Amino acid sequence: MDAPKEIDAATLTEALLEYAFSPAGPEVQRERSYRYLEELLFLKLFSVDYVLGIRGASQAEFTPVRMLYNEGIERSSSVKGFDYRTIVARFETYTVAVNAYLDYEPEERERKGRFWDIGKAFSRLASDTEPWVPNALDVAIHGNIFASQCVRLKDFLDQYELDVH
């Protein structure tokens, strides 16, 4: 494995914002509704914040990156056509969902998996059907999408060492 490349917080933050604000490729855009795509953007924005929060817990130099990232979301949201309050509300919803696992009984943890509730929250919010009808397969797929995003972000961040000078 190559040695990590040095990067400053501002450059890393810009790369993360660019990544997060482009949530779906052309094929997904053709196949999914506007509501789904919008929710996918919120989930991707949250996944970056989530991974930065985890990374910041063990590597303090990532805390300013997370702060810059959230400032960047606020600054960019209106330019990109999104209501910042909606993004904040989604972060709150997804935070509750990602932490719900901590309250599971051991059998329920094993049965549902770590990201069941975030998959459930996403599926409900992205659904074009009112009222939403729970679908275990969709919930599992969307929980796995979140987990995959987190793994990709971790791998991306592992390539870099923050220049703190």
Average pLDDT per run of 10 along the chain, which is 165 residues long?
Answer: 84 94 77 88 95 94 94 86 89 95 80 89 91 87 95 94 77
pLDDT of the residue at 115: 92
pLDDT at 152 (0 to 100): 94
| pLDDT for position 43 | 95
Query: Exposure string (b/e) for 52-80, b if CB count within 10 Å is 16 or more?
Result: bebbbeeeeebebbbebbbebbeebbeee
- At residue 165, the pLDDT reads 63
Q: How many CB atoms lie within 10 A of CB 106?
A: 7
Per-residue model confidence (pLDDT) at position 129: 84
- Cβ–Cβ under 8 Å, residues 84 and 1: no
What residues does each domain of the chain span? 5-158
0.85 cut: is pTM over it? yes
